[in-house]
């Protein structure tokens, strides 16, 4: 198992997280500049700052229901609020006093934190883990109304990069990838959500 790193495209005030949706949800969100029905406000939505992790999960936008890749720019304050509310999706003795303690926290958590193997341009497993953050229905309204500053359609970019990879032009494909770097996290929070 690799080390846990939050790598992201971010600036002083905002961070980009990625989501893959079916056309009906994505097109409505792009038109409104925020998530609107048929987006569901009643179930958990997962946000991921790793572009290549989502590419592996959505098969470069080719999986049914994940055809549109959205780059959702949210405030860093919102992102850090989500991390602060987060509970790991599995018991970790370095983060929890006991299994029962973790279970209690997890069952009432407004946000879930999961670490998954990061991926290369060609989908190979890397020795680091990427974060995905599950925003529950208790926080979704805040996510949509207060944290989101911009939603962009990255689907054309996804298709372009994928075509370059398929044709063996990896150098050009890499040049088009979003520029991600390690996101700084407060030490106490990092220990709790197992960054590092």
Q: How confident is the model at residue 180 (pLDDT cuts 50, 70, 90)?
A: very high
Q: Once rounded to an integer, what is the mean pLDDT over residues 144-154?
A: 98
Predicted local confidence at residue 121, as pLDDT? 96
Predicted local confidence at residue 143, as pLDDT? 97
CA angle centred on 72, ends 122 and 10, rounded to 5° = 75
Q: Once rounded to an integer, what is the mean pLDDT over residues 119-144?
A: 96
Q: How confident is the model at residue 40 (pLDDT cuts 50, 70, 90)?
A: very high
Predicted local confidence at residue 1, as pLDDT? 55
Q: Once rounded to an integer, what is the mean pLDDT over residues 90-97?
A: 90
Residues 179, 9 contacting (CB under 8 angstroms): yes
Predicted local confidence at residue 95, as pLDDT? 87
Q: Once rounded to an integer, what is the mean pLDDT over residues 172-182?
A: 97
Q: Once rounded to an integer, what is the mean pLDDT over residues 105-129?
A: 96
Predicted local confidence at residue 135, as pLDDT? 98
């Amino acid at each position: 198992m690799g080390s846990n790193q939050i790598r992201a495209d971010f600036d002083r005030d905002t961070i980009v997280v990625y989501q893959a949706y079916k056309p009906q949800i994505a097109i409505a969100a792009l038109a409104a500049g925020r998530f609107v029905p048929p987006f569901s406000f009643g179930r958990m939505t997962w946000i991921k700052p790793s572009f290549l992790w989502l590419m592996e999960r959505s098969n470069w936008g080719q999986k049914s229901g994940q055809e549109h890749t959205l780059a959702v720019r949210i405030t860093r304050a919102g992102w850090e609020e989500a991390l602060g509310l987060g509970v790991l999706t599995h018991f970790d003795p370095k983060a929890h006093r006991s299994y029962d303690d973790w279970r209690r926290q997890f069952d009432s958590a407004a946000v879930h934190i999961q670490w998954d193997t990061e991926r290369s341009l060609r989908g190979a497993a890397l020795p680091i883990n990427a974060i995905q953050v599950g925003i529950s229905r208790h926080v979704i309204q805040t996510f949509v109304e207060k944290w989101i500053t911009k939603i962009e359609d990255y689907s054309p970019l996804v298709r372009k990069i994928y075509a370059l990879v398929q044709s063996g032009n990896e150098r050009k494909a890499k040049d088009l990838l979003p520029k991600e770097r390690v996101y700084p996290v407060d030490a106490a929070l990092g220990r709790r959500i197992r960054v590092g």
